[in-house]
């Protein structure tokens, strides 16, 4: 056993790698530990491969709608293996490149293998033991496997497998109705797989604003077979297929049969493998590492960020936390609390969804007086050009102060359109005037946001 002492030990080369590099540049002796591919979830099995793959699905949807614009594509075929290869080659190449660069460095020093705490501020990685006064736990999360009878006896995929599968299945059952399930259903469904979705909630994307979740579910109802408000009770093999038995909240039983099964019911943190309890770090009821406003855990000097803390489980949120972690690690006397104000998110499905701030349900619950503004894509020139019937923008604004409380968008380019509102929420007082004072290009899609802002009225009016 070789013992090593560092100024800082970082677990995880996702967002952790950025902080490790900054700390090394600042003169600290830094160790970084990784058991999987270098670059973490976003690069290897998350944002990047999923969005590269989803572009192929988006192209297919554009082709499908082409006749509405007088274009009749013929002989369209899908080379699924080529679609996946483009993506796998790209992300694997990037990950290898980062690893080679890191291996060439003495600081931060890379330790390969699974890390486990063996005592207070003592971490074991294979034959090495790492000690430091300061740690950063950027250990992320992994797909959660629900306890469904028979699941262990059938071949199922997690999102990690689904992003690398090289054959297009004829049919697929997706367990889950969150953003990863929605995106992968779009990917496989657009390219030709018959998709069925089982979700325990009556609406898909049920954490979104109610109007958004309802519209999204309506669209997916048109695209796929949905078993909503239902639980998978048993999974079994039947010939070459997999059968998922379901039971609705109303007690009604059903069964879905498909060639492939994707489990996308959420994530579970990696704090168990790391055995954080051995160093005294407390976790919440779901196993996420508990941190204070400064990202410090229950043990002074041990910090955590990103998916490991289970707050905003998006890469941009982890990236946002990185500089705070560095600041608070380096200057305990000058710590800065993380500001999560106006943290946006997006779902790159078809339709695309994006949101920031509170949902209408949350605003109503808060008791704040508020105004709602909505506008349909269809009722702007560009929305009309796109023949976009489902899309809309919804704005929630404080009735007295004009502060933007939330914005929710469903439709083409939702993730990009949202940014005008994100910037407005961060600017000055964060009021709606930051949107309405700006001249909007006619007839760009951003007019939908402008018109939603111009239509603010007391709640209870027409819904989108
Ligand atoms: C399919 C999918 C699509 C996604 N799409 C988006 C998107 O479009 N936009 C977005 O913002 N977010 C997206 N996300 C979420 C995003 O990928 C994560 O929020 C982000 O990558 C978390 O970064 P992190 O640094 O906290 O953890 P990670 O990147 O997961 O890094 C943790 C690292 O720690 C390592 N590790 C864990 N335990 C140990 C141990 N004991 N020893 C050694 N190493 C260990 C892991 O191997 C891993 O490399 C997506 C996620 C998935 C799964």
pLDDT value for 59: 98
Is residue 275 in contact with ligand 1, taking CB distance under 6 Å? no
SS percent in the chain: helix, strand, coil, step 5: 35, 25, 35
The residue whose CB lies within 8 Å of the most ligand 1 atoms, and thus the one to mutate among 36, 46, 187, 355, is: 46
For residue 314, the CA-to-ligand 1 centroid distance in Å is 8
**Residue 408 annotated to the active site:** no
E-strand stretches of 113-170: 115-119, 122-125, 128-137, 141-143
Rounded-to-10 torsion of CA 114, 12, 142, 356: 170
For residue 40, the CA-to-ligand 1 centroid distance in Å is 5
The residue whose CB lies within 8 Å of the most ligand 1 atoms, and thus the one to mutate among 43, 47, 141, is: 47
**DSSP structural state of residue 283:** B
- Inter-CA distances, 229 with 163, 176, 382, Å: 27, 11, 36
CB distance 32 to 109 below 8 Å? yes
Of all atoms in ligand 1, which is nearest to the CA of residue 307? 26
Is residue 112 in contact with ligand 1, taking CB distance under 6 Å? no
pLDDT value for 463: 60
Whole-number CA gyration radius for the chain? 24
pLDDT value for 464: 66
Strand partners, 457: 372
- Inter-CA distances, 20 with 111, 144, 252, 440, Å: 13, 28, 53, 42
pLDDT value for 229: 98
Is residue 316 in contact with ligand 1, taking CB distance under 6 Å? yes
pLDDT value for 460: 80
Q: Which residues contact 424 (CB under 8 A, 6 or more apart)?
A: 404, 430, 431, 432, 434, 435
pLDDT value for 154: 98
Dist CA 41 CA 150 (whole Å) = 28
pLDDT value for 30: 98
**Coil vs helix vs strand at 199:** strand
Is residue 54 in contact with ligand 1, taking CB distance under 6 Å? no
Of all atoms in ligand 1, which is nearest to the CA of residue 273? 41
The residue whose CB lies within 8 Å of the most ligand 1 atoms, and thus the one to mutate among 117, 123, 157, 314, is: 314
- Inter-CA distances, 13 with 39, 180, 204, 463, Å: 5, 22, 32, 45
* Per-residue pLDDT tens digits of the chain, which is 464 residues long: 899 999 999 999 999 999 999 999 999 999 999 999 999 999 999 999 999 999 999 999 999 999 999 999 999 999 999 999 999 999 999 999 999 999 999 999 999 999 999 999 999 999 999 999 999 999 999 999 999 999 999 999 999 999 999 999 999 999 999 999 999 999 999 999 999 999 999 999 999 999 999 999 999 999 999 999 999 999 999 999 999 999 999 999 999 999 999 999 999 999 999 999 999 999 999 999 999 999 999 999 999 999 999 999 999 999 999 999 999 999 999 999 999 999 999 999 999 999 999 999 999 999 999 999 999 999 999 999 999 999 999 999 999 999 999 999 999 999 999 999 999 999 999 999 999 999 999 999 999 999 999 999 999 865 66
On the question of a cis peptide bond just before residue 443, with omega within 30 degrees of 0, the verdict is yes
Q: Which residues contact 213 (CB under 8 A, 6 or more apart)?
A: 203, 204, 205, 206, 207
Dist CA 464 CA 461 (whole Å) = 10
Dist CA 387 CA 377 (whole Å) = 9
Dist CA 37 CA 44 (whole Å) = 7
**Coil vs helix vs strand at 38:** coil
Phi, psi (degrees; rounded to nearest 5) at 2: -100, 130
Is residue 273 in contact with ligand 1, taking CB distance under 6 Å? yes
Is residue 307 in contact with ligand 1, taking CB distance under 6 Å? yes
Dist CA 221 CA 177 (whole Å) = 12
Closest CA to 414 of 355, 366, 373: 355
Phi, psi (degrees; rounded to nearest 5) at 399: -65, -25
């Amino acid at each position: 056993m070789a013992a090593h002492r560092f100024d800082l030990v970082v677990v995880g080369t996702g967002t952790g790698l950025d902080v490790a590099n900054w700390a090394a540049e600042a003169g600290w002796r830094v160790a970084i530990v990784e058991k999987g591919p270098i670059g973490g979830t976003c690069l290897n099995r998350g944002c990047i491969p999923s969005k590269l793959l989803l572009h192929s699905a988006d192209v297919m949807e554009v082709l499908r709608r082409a006749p509405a614009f007088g274009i009749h594509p013929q002989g369209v075929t899908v080379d699924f293996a080529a679609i996946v290869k483009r993506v796998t080659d790209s992300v694997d190449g990037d990950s290898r490149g980062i690893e080679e660069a890191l291996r060439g460095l003495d600081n931060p020093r890379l330790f390969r293998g699974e890390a486990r705490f063996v005592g207070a501020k003592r971490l074991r990685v294979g034959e090495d033991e790492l000690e430091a006064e300061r740690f950063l736990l950027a250990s992320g999360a992994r797909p959660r496997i629900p306890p469904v009878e028979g699941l262990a006896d059938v071949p199922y995929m997690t999102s990690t497998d689904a992003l690398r599968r090289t054959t297009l299945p004829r049919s697929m059952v997706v367990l889950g109705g969150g953003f990863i399930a929605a995106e992968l259903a779009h990917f496989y469904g657009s390219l030709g797989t018959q998709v069925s979705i089982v979700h325990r909630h009556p609406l898909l994307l049920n954490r979104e604003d109610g109007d958004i979740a309802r519209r999204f579910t309506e669209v997916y109802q048109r695209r796929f077979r949905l078993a909503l408000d239902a639980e998978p009770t048993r999974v079994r093999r039947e010939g070459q297929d997999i059968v998922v038995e379901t039971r609705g909240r109303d007690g009604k039983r059903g069964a879905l049969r498909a060639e492939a099964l994707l489990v996308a019911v959420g994530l579970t943190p990696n704090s168990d493998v790391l055995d954080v309890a051995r160093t005294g770090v407390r976790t919440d009821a779901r196993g996420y590492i508990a941190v204070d406003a400064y990202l410090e855990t229950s043990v002074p000097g041990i910090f955590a960020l990103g998916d490991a803390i289970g707050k905003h489980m998006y890469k941009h949120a982890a990236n946002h936390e990185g500089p705070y972690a560095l600041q608070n690690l380096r200057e305990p006397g000058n710590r800065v609390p993380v500001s999560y104000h106006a943290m946006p998110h997006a779902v790159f499905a078809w339709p695309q969804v994006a949101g920031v701030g509170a949902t209408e349900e949350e605003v109503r619950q808060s008791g704040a007086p508020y105004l709602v503004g909505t506008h349909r894509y269809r009722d702007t020139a560009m929305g009309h050009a796109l023949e976009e019937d489902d899309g809309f923008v919804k704005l929630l604004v404080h009735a007295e102060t004009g502060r933007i409380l939330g914005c929710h968008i469903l439709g083409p380019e939702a993730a990009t359109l949202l940014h005008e509102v994100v910037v407005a929420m961060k600017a000055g007082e964060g009021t709606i005037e930051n949107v309405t004072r700006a001249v909007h290009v006619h007839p760009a899609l951003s007019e939908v946001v402008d018109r939603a802002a111009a239509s603010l009225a007391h709640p209870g009016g027409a819904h989108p």
